[in-house]
Amino acid sequence: MVLKRCLMEIGTGVDLSGRDYTKASRRAVQDAVGRNGLSFVRSVGAGPESMYVEVTVGVARPDEVDTDQVLDVLPYGHKSINVVQGGLDMPSYDGSDAIVIANAALIVSLDLDS
């Protein structure tokens, strides 16, 4: 297998109330995916089965992210995820809630041997 990195895209997602780190992470990945149409994949003789998508998500509380739900956002490809410390929590005026901001980076590689 020869993987060739073809694309890197960045996305941001926000959950306005409820401190849902999974929701913010899903939105960050959707933001990144929505910026791309990978038409070049077919032009190099590859298909969705040749795609490897590595997701890195940064949130303030990485252990509160349901990684399976985040990866479900991706329409196809071999998927992997790494959730790291990052993002931003903006506390409400009384501290009872927070706006959660997640950042995502997606790297798409193709298996050019297939």
pLDDT in tens, 67-113: 999 999 998 889 999 999 999 999 999 989 999 999 999 999 988 76
Per the structure, how many domains does the chain have?
1
Q: What is the CATH number of the domain that holds 69?
A: 3.30.1330.20
Quote the CA–CA distance of 101 and 94 in Å, as a whole number. 19
Domain that holds residue 100: 3-111
| Residue 41 pLDDT greater than 70, yes or no | no
What DSSP string runs through 63-86? GG--HHHHHTTS-SSEEEEEEEE-
Least confident span in 29-33, 47-51, 96-100: 47-51
The burial of 14, by beta-carbon neighbours within 10 Å (0-12 exposed, 13-18 middle, 19 or more buried), is given as: middle
* Average pLDDT rounded to a whole number, residues 4-19: 92
Asked if residue 48 has pLDDT above 80, the reply is no
CA separation for the pair 49, 54 (Å, rounded): 14
Residues above pLDDT 90, as percent of the chain? 67
